[in-house]
Amino acid sequence: MAKLKPVINRPSFKSISYESIEPELDQLLARARQQAIDLCESAPASWSGFMQPSEELHDEISRFWSPISHLNSVLNSDDLRESYTACLSKINELYTELGQNSELYEKTLALKETDEYASLSKAQKKTIENTLRDFRLSGVALPEAKKKRYMEISRRLSELKNKFSENVLDSTNAWEKLVTEESLLDGVPEHAKLAAQERARDADKEGWLLNLEFPTYYAISTFASNRELREEIYRAFVTRASDQGPHDKAFNNDDLITETLALRVEKAELLGFNSYAEFSLAKKMVESPQQVFDFLYDLAERALPQAKEEFSELQSFAKQRDGIDELNAWDVGYYSDKLKQQQYAISDEDLKPYFPASKAIPGMFAVVRKLFGLKIQKIEMDDVWHEDVELYEIRDADDTLRGEFYMDNFARPNKRGGAWMDVCVSRRRLDESSVQIPVAYLTCNLTPPVGDDPALLTHNEVTTLFHEFGHGLHHMLTLVDVPDVSGISGVEWDAVELPSQFLENWCWEREALDMISGHYQTGEKIPDDMLEKAQRARNFQSAMQMVRQLEFSIFDMKIHHESRSDSPLNVQAALDEVRQKVSVIPTPSFNRFQNGFSHIFAGGYAAGYFSYKWAEVLSADAYSKFEEEGIFSTEAGLSFMHNILEKGGTDEAMVLFENFRGRKPEIDALLRHSGLKVA
């Protein structure tokens, strides 16, 4: 079969005019509505005459909207916000309309029953099946009055998600603290102090300017010996977008959370589900909320005794070292680092000089090349949204272009916190001879360069890079030509973390570390004794970390399964109840973690945060194959690429996993990697 010609349809960021976003979108949406009318009136449904024209137009809408949505996250401004907010409800309204169009549904159903269906590709058949499922989940069978209410709910939920995210960003940006006495920063790493000095100079101030961007928060909460300073920044961080702490109450997300939960459950009830959790699981591997609870509480039962021992040890250490009678939440990071140094003679800061971004990033590409036979090269171009952004391409060993990706690595103001991969362009067959190449956004908030030094990363930041790149590979290496099931599209949400968590494992292996590390001054690799200490310390407080993630997951599932439209759940009480069961770290009453929990209130993880742990079972078991055959086993690497990364959503995630592993997943590898006992 002749090779398909790769076509690159990446966006032009320089040509985006905020004033023209809404009118251009209006034209696209009008075309989509007219197309729906035309398709309903057309001859009997076929793939080429019915599904393909719709696919082409929706790809065009996606490619138009993707860079705008991305800019709203990474270069937020008042002008862009105005255009983005106005357009968001219009897009949501269109897709709700289409999802409730009974004529389109009947046409799609009729296509599945034609003789042509049997001759369609696996990707085309899966697209039709998913489309029919999504019609049902969009309320296509509802009476008109309920369809209208469903649309109102969808529109409002979209607005609430956007406002939640804005409030978190605004409250994060609004807080700062000027330190004028250097002694208050005792213990804080020099690079963090230099960054704070630069920030102060940029603001025409004298001293050290602290903010709530994660690299700053982490440096203060982990290393500052001044307990009052740690408490102050902790209080500011955990009360963002709430009625507590030093923040403007205009950013409070309390009412948004209450309304969001009520509307989500009403939406689910309209479709006949008992809870929003049941509605959410309709697109996941897991079959019921009870299955999720059983899974999470089983892990909690295994981890909690060890977590309590770890915290008790930390309390004793703080008491013995500094006479601390009551270990508070803002003390945990600080004393954990000191205890880690005592037990393993290593701190998170010790590894940092060995991970300059200029070494870690190309080293990560080298790891991927050795695993999957891929070549990654930088593309020189200036059509990007910020000077830090770089564009890369991925090619096969035979030089076939597989995909492209933008990297935006460093923290800065007006950029959403956290790290994520997002779709820029999806792979799609254009005609008999050409294919549209997938493009990804890879975004992090890593520690930026300071002064004359390069960007030096913590090992955890390197792991974050690998995690997001794993998502990116899942999107870019797909060989599926139908966009609804290419890349990460159509993949069950509780399996989408498999490739990302899987790739993290190479951050701990000597052979891989030699490729991603090198002292920024001497080029020296991580010394053997230091690596041995780091590897021994890998599972330091791993049970405490496990129950922390289980707290988030159980809370998420609880509020989305127990909320009812006629009896709003007290979210704070629900979180407190979960903490009583699985938490070991005392949480102060002013903590409002939920008000900044963007994953579930502004992202795609509502009733799905458990996916991180669920997929970790898959990823740990998948990696155990490399532990058995060699971490750079060519056979295992190519098998993972062919069976998982290239397949997109064309098959059930469990089927793909079994094709790779030769059996169903087992939990033993996760427990072993987490330092927990295997039953």
| Catalytically active residues, by annotation | 468
Beta carbons of 221 and 486 less than 8 angstroms apart: no
Beta carbons of 136 and 74 less than 8 angstroms apart: no
- Report the distance separating Cα 172 and Cα 528, nearest Å: 40
Beta carbons of 454 and 520 less than 8 angstroms apart: yes
| H/E run at residue 394 | strand 390-395
Beta carbons of 406 and 390 less than 8 angstroms apart: yes
Task: Determine the 3-state secondary structure of 326 from DSSP.
Answer: coil
Left (φ > 0), alpha (ψ -120 to 50) or beta: where does 349 sit? alpha
- Report the distance separating Cα 533 and Cα 536, nearest Å: 5
C-alpha to C-alpha distances, 90 to 103, 140, 496, nearest whole angstrom: 22, 19, 28
Q: How many CB atoms lie within 10 A of CB 548?
A: 17
Could you say which DSSP state residue 524 is in?
P
Question: In sequence order, what are the residues at sequence separation of 6 or more whose Cβ sits closer than 8 angstroms to the Cβ of residue 71?
Answer: 13, 16, 80, 385
Q: Strand 439-446 vs strand 428-429: parallel, antiparallel, or unpaired? A: unpaired
- Report the distance separating Cα 58 and Cα 379, nearest Å: 28
Beta carbons of 491 and 651 less than 8 angstroms apart: no
Beta carbons of 507 and 469 less than 8 angstroms apart: no
